[in-house]
Structures are given as C-alpha cells and as structure tokens.
Chains A and B, each alone.
Chain A
Amino acid sequence: MNIEVALFSGLTLGALYCLMAMGLTLVNSTIKFFNFTHGAILMTGAYFTWYLLEEMGLNYFASFIVTLLLTFILGVVVQRVIVQPLVNKEASGLMLILGTFVIGNLLENSFLLIFGGRLKRLPTPLEGHFSIGAATITYHSLLILVTTSVVMGGMAYFLLRTRMGMAMRCVAQNEQAAKLMGIPVKTVYRYVLGISSLLAGVAGIFLGSIYFMTPSMGGGPLSKAFTVCVLGGLNSILGTVIGAFLVGILESTLTLFFPMYYVTPALFLLMMFILLVRPEGIFA
C-alpha cells in the first residue's frame, strides 16, 4: 500500500460516502432530523439488486434501474408511514430519530428473515483493471466514480433548475414562508425522502459489490455519513460533497499510518473537534 493507491481508494470511498451523505443532508436540511433508516435503505438497495440479478435473472443495468425505483418507493413509504404522521403531531427530533430507527430495525430484521444472514456479494458489471504508476485501478471503481459524478450532476441540475428542487431549497431555507407561498410541503417531504433513499440505494449497490452484503451492512456507512455531514456542514449539499471526499481520502491515508482500529475513532474525534471549533461545519 502506498500513497497513490490510498488516494485512489480514498476517492472511491469518498464517492460512496458522498452518495450516502447527500441524502442525509437533504433530509436534514428540509425536515430537520437525522434519518436513521438511511442505513437500512442502503442495505435494501443491495439486496434488491442481488435478488433481481440472481433470482430473477435480469441484467445489471435493468436491475440497477428497478432498484432505484424500488428504493425511491421505499423512501416514499417511510415518509408516509412514520415521518409524516410524526411531523403532523409536531413530534420532536428525538421521536423522528427513534421512529426512523425503529423502521430501519424492522427492515433489517425482515431482510434477515427473508434472505438469511449468510454473506453475499454482488457481482461487478465490469471486470478487469489497469494500472497507473503503482496504483491498480479496477474498472468497477472507475464506474463508481463516474456514476457518482453523474448523480452529483443530476442532483445539482435537480436542485438548481427544476421546480421540485427549488421547492426543496425553499423549504430548507424557511418552511413557514414556503407554506405561505403555496409550496406543498408534504409533497416536498415525500420527494426528499424518496430521492435520499434512491441515493442510499445507489450507494448500497456499490457497497454490496465492494464489501460483503449482510442485513446490518448499513450501520458502518451510516455513522461515517454522519461525520461527513457534520464536517461539511449540516445544511449544505456542496459542503457535504467536499466533506465526503475529504473523509474518504483521510480515512484511506490514515490506514497507511495507523492500525485500522483507530481510524474510525480518529474520524469521530475530528468530528468532535469540528463541532467545538466550527459547529456549523467547515464549508457551511
């Protein structure tokens, strides 16, 4: 392992964290809570793709698209079932966190019952690799980077140019005023959760082909995504993107110098430090 390899794998990690954390930031800036189903939805993304590929025999591209649809629908369901009822009751952030965690727990355990706890691995669509200098780059990680860039571009277009995206930004800035201007806040919430789940689903598909899939695979990436959100600014998508790549590269370069065990606590310590020095995030 040398620095080029670490940098490249950091970039790939950063792309995955970016996909995760963008959804979290989207929810956190509009509905104002941390979505704890996010990890479970990531897991469902991986499992849906696995099911479509292995059991239904679809090809990779088709199952990718169907998974996106399914995770979007799942996000809308989460919004209908738990988020909106609690928001209607003016529940606290704590209750939203607990509620979404409970739904996540439900999903994880149902998937454990349906698919079993055995380790699974998603096949990669592109085999092979090439090398630049000392770094070996697989086509798969290149695919991850390209897809993430496409998704980021799509998000930017969506948020800056479309009506729904603008409505989301309005709700994020001032919910009361948005309501007064006739923006349907409930619909916005539905799209917010749908899109953030879709992003988690994409992250899940890629994580499932890099690491192994288990029903509890979402926990680790979720807590990393939290550090990303805090680092990059809780309400800024751009900050989150920068923060994600920062955390990814930091993580993989730290593993060069420290044992693996200490890298995650080091990231959390960094998060604590940032919270004390700059509570609104570095790039907010």
Chain B
Amino acid sequence: MKKIFIILLIPLATLIFLPVLTQRTYILHLAVMSFVFAVISQNWDLTMGYLGLFNFGHLSFFAIGAYTSGILSINYQVSPWVCLFIGGLIALVAGSILTLPTIRLGGRVFSLFSFSFQQVLFYLIRSNPMGLTGGSQGLSRIPPLQVFDYQLQGANSIPAYYLALGLFLGITLILYLTVKSPIGMAFTAIRDSENYAISRGINPFKYRFIAVVVGAFFTGIIGAFYAHFLGVVGPEILGWGNVVLTCCMVEFGGLGTLIGPTAAAFMLTILSNYLSGLEAYRNIIISLIMFFVLIAFPSGLAGIFVPIKTNAHKLTDLFKARNKDGEG
C-alpha cells in the first residue's frame, strides 16, 4: 500500500500546481469538472461498490444539491456558502426519505425505488413547478461563492480551482478513512455475506442507511458547488446520458475501490469533454470503449492495476442471489 501512496503523490502534486503550470482556462475547467465527477463517483461507489446496494438515483442527490443551492441563492439571497451546506443537508434528507422505507425490502426494490425517484425529480424539475426551477432552460445567473473580493465562478478564477481541489481532497480523505474504519469493514462484511455479518452483530439496515446518507450529503455539497461554479444548472444533469456516463465511471474504475472510480472519473470527464465537438461520434466512441471494458475487464481498471481483496465474482454472485431472493 505504501507504494501506491508514493505513486499517488505525482498526480497530486500536478493537481496542486496545475494553475501555475498552465494558464489555459479550458484545462482548469476540465480539472474542476473532473473533481466534481470524481466526488460523485466515489460517493456512488460507497453504496454500490462497498455495500453492493445498487442505487440508481445517486445523481438525484447531485441535482437536489445544485437546485436547492441555486434556488435559495437566487430567490432568497441566501449566502452561497450557507447554500453549499444547505444543499448537502437537503440531499441528506432526500437520501433518508429514499432509504428509510425501502431498506428492508431488499436491493431490487431499492434500485427500482431510487430509479423512479430520480425520474420523478427529473420530470418535476423540467415541468418548472411555481417557476422555481426554470423548466428545461434550467437556472441561470446563480451568484458565485465569494471570498473577500474574489468571485469563485468560472475556471479563470484560481481560488475556485483550489476550493474544488480542497473539496475533492477533503471528501476523498473522509471517504477513505470511513472505508478503512470499522464502519467500512461493516459495509464490506454486509456486502460479502449479509447473514454472517448479522450473526456477528452488525445491523445491515443501519449501515446501509449510513452509507446512502453520507454519500447523499457529500454529493449534495458538490452539487451545490457545481451550481455556484458554473452559474447555470439544467435538468440534463439528470438525463440518461449523464446518469450512465457517471455510472460507467464507477463500473469502469472498479467497484469498491474508491481510487478506481476517481481515476475513471478523470479519464471519462476529460475524454467526453475532449470529444464534445463530435456529438454523435463522441457517443459512439465512448460506448465502444465502455463495451470493450465491460467485456474485457469486468472488474474495472482497478482490477488490473491495484490488487484488490474482494473478487468481483463474489460481488456478482451476491447481486444474482439478491435478484433471486427478490422474486420469492
């Protein structure tokens, strides 16, 4: 493990000195977007990889964070810094609404429930209730975060870059510590063998709740940051393309590794932005890459580079077993 940390120092140093190395705002913008998507996919990995709980509606927490923060700061002139926190809190509440009624009904019901939750949210945002969400136009002119006189909006603002980096590193650290702590052990125990975990005194419902809610909170915060950073949010963040791209980041990187989804988030964000001029070709290229990875490396990139303890087959057996439980 020590070697990995030394290897990780190089990209970390690059990221810290990136504004010094390059002045091109496009690269900085890509870096910030990568931070945002890395945080989303890490948090998604927390429920999907570490708990084996397929939450199809994870991006709805992101949208909730972004929209709450945007609406509060535009319509009620709440300070963006407070909004950042409130966005996270509302996402947390949404996470518990999603989890509490369904957590005892099995993984399959939870996936379907979160899927429909996201659909409801998507259509509600698009239908522009009470003129709050701006319909399919989305919200625009969201006020930026401010430190003294600096406005942290757009990629040409270097403090914004460092705030994004700070959020990304901080959340990564917290998640890493959580995963290594007894709580994280409980997560993997439940994933690998639920009955055995129960017999050892681990309450699976409690830990599933914790994982979803923690993931929702951080995703909400990064969503709020996203809104204030770009100044615009549209309903397309809940669109199919975005959902599957983000889901692919987790799958592509390797479930239950944290570092894999992070790396994959950087790669895919950069790739999809780089190809964005090509429209249809871009989607075809990304689909082909996904297809290849799914067939050739089912346990993701991390499966090749990092020796991980859990093998993917155990996890997939569990998915299948759970699917079959769901019928009876």
Contact = CB atoms under 8 A, between A and B. Distances in A.
A95 B251 contact: yes
Interface in B231-251: 240-241, 244, 247-248, 251
A272 B113 contact: yes
Interface string A71-113: 0000000000010011001111111001101110110111011
A93 B324 CA distance: 11
B108 to A, nearest CB: 8
Is chain B's interface secondary structure helix, strand, loop, or mixed overall?
helix
B117 A272 contact: yes
Interface in A42-83: 82
A89 B298 contact: yes
Given A98-B248, A106-B288, A91 B127 contact: no
A223 interface: yes
A165 interface: no
Interface residues on B, range: 35 or more
A269 interface: yes
Contact of B287 (A33, A106, A276): A106
Contact of B120 (A82, A226, A230, A265): A265
A268 B116 contact: yes
Contacts of B126: 261
Interface string A218-237: 01000100110010001100
B119 A223 contact: yes
A98 B320 contact: no
Contacts, number: 129
Nearest to A99: B294
Contacts of A234: 327
A94 B299 CA distance: 12
A147 interface: no
Contact of A275 (B102, B313, B315): B102
Nearest to B110: A275
Interface in B176-192: none
Contacts of B115: 226
A91 B316 contact: yes
Interface string B103-133: 0011011001101110110011011100000
Contacts of A271: 112, 116
B315 to A, nearest CB: 7
Contacts of B315: 92
Interface residues on A, range: 35 or more
A234 B313 CA distance: 25
Given A32-B323, A226-B115, A91 B298 contact: yes
B54 interface: yes
B17 interface: no
A273 to B, nearest CB: 10
Contact of B298 (A86, A93, A112, A223): A86
Interface string A133-144: 000000000000
A279 interface: yes
B294 A86 contact: yes
Contacts of B119: 223, 264-265, 268
A117 B323 CA distance: 38
A219 B290 contact: no
A262 interface: yes
A122 B79 CA distance: 53
Contacts of B319: 92-94
Contact of A92 (B295, B316, B326): B316
A98 B247 contact: yes
A262 to B, nearest CB: 6
Given A85-B295, A95-B294, A113-B280, A102 B123 contact: no
Interface string B14-57: 00000000000000000000000000000000001000001000
Contacts of A89: 298, 316
Given A92-B316, A109-B284, A103 B117 contact: no
17 contacts: A90-B317, A95-B251, A95-B294, A99-B294, A102-B287, A102-B294, A105-B287, A106-B291, A109-B280, A109-B287, A113-B281, A226-B112, A261-B123, A272-B113, A275-B105, A279-B105, A280-B327
Interface of A: 32-33, 82, 85-86, 89-95, 98-99, 101-103, 105-106, 108-110, 112-113, 219, 223, 226-227, 230, 234-235, 259, 261-262, 264-265, 268-269, 271-272, 275-276, 279-280
Given A91-B298, A103-B287, 10 more contacts: A86-B298, A89-B298, A98-B248, A105-B244, A108-B283, A109-B284, A268-B119, A272-B113, A275-B109, A276-B105
Per CB-CB distance, the 9 closest pairs between chain A and chain B, nearest first, are A261-B127, A92-B319, A265-B123, A92-B316, A109-B283, A106-B287, A268-B116, A102-B290, A265-B120
